[in-house]
Structure 1
Amino acid sequence: MLEIIQSGGWMMVPIIIASILALAISVERFWTLRATQIAPADLLSRVWGWMKNKQLDANRIKELRESSPLGRVLAAGLMNARNGRQIMKESIEEVASHEIHEMERYLNALGTVAAVAPLMGLLGTVFGMIQVFSEIMIQGTGQANVLAGGISEALITTAAGLVVAIPALICHRILQRRVDEIVVFMEQEAIKLVDVLHGEREVSDPVESRESRA
C-alpha cells in the first residue's frame, strides 16, 4: 500500500488529506445527527403532560431548552406563547434556523471533498502523463515496459480520488437526508405546539407522537 501511495506522486498528499477530512466529518456527523438526541419522539408528549398537570413553569422550560435542539425550538415557542400566534411562530423559526444551521455544519465541506477528490486525482494523472510523454521524447517508444509502468503510476491518483469521492458522496447524501427528515419532524412538532396553545388543535394522545415517528 505504501508503495502504491509513493508511486502516485505528490498529488497523493492532498488526496490523503481529503480522505482523512471526509472520514472525520462523516464519523462526527453520524454520531451527532442522531434523531433520539436532536428530536426525541416523546418530547412533545412530555410537554403535554406538564401542561395538563400545570407543571409548566420556568424551571421546566429551562429543562426543555437544555434537553435537545427540538427542546430549544419548543421552549422558544412556549416563552412567546402569550405574545400572539405570529410572534410565537417567528420565535420558533428564528431558533429553528439556528439549529438547522448547526445540524448542517461540515456537510458543505464533505460535499466539497466528494466533488474535488476526483479532480485532484485527474490532475495527478495529467501530471503523470506529461512525465510519460517527456520520457517518450527522450527515450523514444522502444521501451514499452517503462511506458506502461509510467502510465499505470499516473492512473493511481485517479483511482485514489475516486476511492475517496465515492464514499464521501454517499455519506453526504445520507447525512443530508437525515437532516431533512429531522427538520420535517421538528416542524411538525412545532406546528402542533402552536396550534394547541392557540386553540386550533386539541392536545393529542401522548403515544401519538411516538407512533407517527415510528
Structure 2
Amino acid sequence: MLLFILTMGVMPVVQAKDIDVKDLKSDLEDVSQRLTKYRDEVLIEKASVAREMNKMEEELLIKRREREIVDLGAKGREAKLYSLRKSVATFKKEADYIEGALKDFSIEFDLRSRPGHQSELGQVENPDVVTRVKSLEKAFESVNSMLGGEFVKAEVVTDGGTLSRGTICNLGPAGWFKDDSGKYYGSVEMLSGATHGRLNSDVNQSDVEALFAQGSSRLKLDVTGGKARAISKIQDDPLKLFEKGGVWLWPILTIAFFSTVCGVIKFIQLSKIKEPNADWIGNLLTYVNKGDLDAAKSACAGVAHPVAEVLTKSIDFVSAGANVVEEVVYERIIGVQSQLQKWLPFIAVTAATAPLLGLLGTVSGMIRMFNVITVTGTGDVKPMAGGISEALVTTLFGLIVAIPALILHTMLSRRSNGVVQATERLSLSFVNGLKSK
C-alpha cells in the first residue's frame, strides 16, 4: 500500500518531465496563425457580404421607387418628374453660383496678390473648378505665410519707373522692400491689376535696414494695402476736390467770388456810417432858426451818415416851408434806401442759386454714373467714382457758398435797414422841429 502511494506521488513528476515545451509553443503558434487567417477570411467574407447587401439594398430601393412610380399613375409620375427637374435646376444654380464665386475669388486673388504670391491661374486657359479650388488652397497658404511674416524675392517698380529686384518682407497686407544693391528701399504698394508692386520711399532707410538685418524694426503699417495713404493724400489736397467737381463747379465758384467782393465792399461802406449824437439835430435847428444856413450845412458836412446828405439838400428849401422840406426829405430817403440796398440782391441771388447749381451738378454726375453703368455694369464701382464725385462735390460747394452768402446777406440787410430807419427818424425830427417853430 505504501508502495502504491509512493508510486502515485512520483508519477506526475515523471509525466511533467516527459512533456516537450517546444512542441507546445509550436502548436500554439500554429493555432494562432490559423486563427488569424480565419479571422481575415471572415473579414473578407463580411466585406463581400456587406457589398452584396448594399447592392441588394440599392436594387431594392430602385424597385421600391419603380413600384411607387407605377402606383402613382400618369399624373403622379409627371408631378414627380417635375419635382426632380426642379431639384436638378436648383442644384445647377447652386453649382453655377459656387463656380462663379470661385472664379471671382481667383480673379481677385490674382489682382491682389502680394509680391512673390502671384497665382498661376492667369496662365491657364479656361480653368476648371478643380484648378480654382487649388487656387483657394494656395490663397490660404499665402495668408498663413504672410501673417507670420516672410521674406521673398521679387521685383518692384521704383519711382523712376524701372524694375528693381530685391527682397520683400511681407506682413499681412503690408510689405517693405530693399533691393540687392541697397539703392532702393521703402514700403510696397500693390495696385489692383498690377503684376508688380510700386515702391514708396516714405520710410527711414535705417528702419528698413534694421528690419532686414535683425528681423525687427519700428515701421509704419498701413493694413489697408495703401488705400488709407491714398485717402489721406486726397483729404490733404483740397485741389483734388476741384478736379472731381466737374464743369458745374466753376459757375458756383464764379458767383461765390463776385458775391464775396460785393459783400466786402458793402461791409466797408456800412462800417463807415456813424450815427450822429442826440444833440446834433437840436444844434442844426438852432442854426436854421437863426437863419445861418451855411453853419447848418457845415454841421451836416461833419457827419458820416446818409441823413447829413438828406438834410443838406433839405436846408435849401427851408424858406418854402416845413411841408416842402418834408417832401424833399422823403424823396431823398428813397435815394438813400436804394443806395444802401445796392449789391445786396446779388448776394441774395448767390445764396439761392448756389444750391441749385450744386443740384444741377448732382444730376449731371448721376447721369454720367448711369452712362458708365450701362457700359460696365455694377460689378466694379471704380468707373462710377467720377460721376459720384461730381454729384457730391458740386452739392458740397453749392452749400458751402450758399450758407455764408445767406448769413452775409442777412447781416448786411439788417445793418442797411437800421441805417435807413435812423435816417428816417432823424429827418422826421428835423421836419417836426421846423413845424413847431
TM-score by length of 2: 0.42
C-alpha offsets along residues 78-105 of structure 1, whole Å, 9 cap, x if unaligned? 2212212321111011111111111111
- State the alpha-carbon separation in 1 of the partners of residues 334 and 314 from structure 2: 14
What's the secondary structure of 2:276's corresponding residue? Answer: coil
In structure 1, the residue matched to 2:232 is: none
Check whether the contact 1:38–1:69 (CA below 8 A) recurs between aligned residues. Answer: no
- State the alpha-carbon separation in 2 of the partners of residues 149 and 13 from structure 1: 17
What's the secondary structure of 1:33's corresponding residue? Answer: helix
Check whether the contact 2:366–2:391 (CA below 8 A) recurs between aligned residues. Answer: yes
2:422 is the counterpart of 1:185 = yes
- Quick one: which of 362, 366, 375 aligns to 1:138? 375
Aligned ranges 1:72-91 → 2 under 5 Å: 72-91=309-328
Shift of 1:38: 5.5
- State the alpha-carbon separation in 1 of the partners of residues 241 and 282 from structure 2: 57
In structure 1, the residue matched to 2:132 is: none
Aligned ranges 1:5-44 → 2 under 5 Å: 5-34=242-271, 37=273, 39-41=275-277, 43-44=280-281
In structure 1, the residue matched to 2:293 is: 57
Q: Which has the higher helix share?
A: 1
Shift of 1:7: 0.8
Shift of 1:16: 0.8
Check whether the contact 1:73–1:95 (CA below 8 A) recurs between aligned residues. Answer: yes
Shift of 1:47: 1.8
In structure 2, the residue matched to 1:108 is: 345
Q: Which protein has greater RCO, CA pairs closer than 8 Å, 6+ apart? A: 1
Shift of 1:154: 1.7
The alpha-carbon distance between structure 1 residues 28 and 41, as it changes in their structure 2 partners (threshold 3 A), is farther
Shift of 1:48: 4.3
The alpha-carbon distance between structure 1 residues 73 and 48, as it changes in their structure 2 partners (threshold 3 A), is same
The alpha-carbon distance between structure 1 residues 85 and 60, as it changes in their structure 2 partners (threshold 3 A), is closer
Shift of 1:46: 4.3
Return 5+ residue gaps in structure 1 as ranges. Answer: 201-214
In structure 2, the residue matched to 1:150 is: 387
What's the secondary structure of 2:273's corresponding residue? Answer: helix
Check whether the contact 1:77–1:194 (CA below 8 A) recurs between aligned residues. Answer: no
Return 5+ residue gaps in structure 2 as ranges. Answer: 1-237
Check whether the contact 2:288–2:296 (CA below 8 A) recurs between aligned residues. Answer: no
The alpha-carbon distance between structure 1 residues 41 and 172, as it changes in their structure 2 partners (threshold 3 A), is farther
The amino acid across from 1:8 in the alignment is: G
What's the secondary structure of 1:5's corresponding residue? Answer: helix
Q: Which has the higher strand share?
A: 2
The alpha-carbon distance between structure 1 residues 176 and 103, as it changes in their structure 2 partners (threshold 3 A), is same
The amino acid across from 1:18 in the alignment is: I
Shift of 1:49: 5.6
Shift of 1:44: 2.5
The alpha-carbon distance between structure 1 residues 128 and 41, as it changes in their structure 2 partners (threshold 3 A), is farther
Check whether the contact 1:104–1:179 (CA below 8 A) recurs between aligned residues. Answer: yes
The amino acid across from 1:64 in the alignment is: C
- State the alpha-carbon separation in 2 of the partners of residues 194 and 153 from structure 1: 60
- Quick one: which of 175, 179, 184 aligns to 2:412? 175
In structure 2, the residue matched to 1:212 is: none
Check whether the contact 1:40–1:70 (CA below 8 A) recurs between aligned residues. Answer: no
- State the alpha-carbon separation in 1 of the partners of residues 364 and 346 from structure 2: 26
- State the alpha-carbon separation in 2 of the partners of residues 8 and 38 from structure 1: 44
Paired-residue identity, %: 32
- State the alpha-carbon separation in 1 of the partners of residues 380 and 277 from structure 2: 68
Shift of 1:60: 3.9
2:241 is the counterpart of 1:4 = yes
C-alpha offsets along residues 150-208 of structure 1, whole Å, 9 cap, x if unaligned? 313321001101100110011111111111111111111111111111117xxxxxxxx
- State the alpha-carbon separation in 1 of the partners of residues 296 and 436 from structure 2: 22
The amino acid across from 1:58 in the alignment is: D
Stretch deviating more after TM superposition (171-180 or 146-155): 146-155
Shift of 1:148: 4.5
Number of residue equivalences:
198
The amino acid across from 1:102 in the alignment is: Q
- State the alpha-carbon separation in 1 of the partners of residues 332 and 284 from structure 2: 18
Check whether the contact 2:367–2:387 (CA below 8 A) recurs between aligned residues. Answer: no
Check whether the contact 1:74–1:190 (CA below 8 A) recurs between aligned residues. Answer: yes
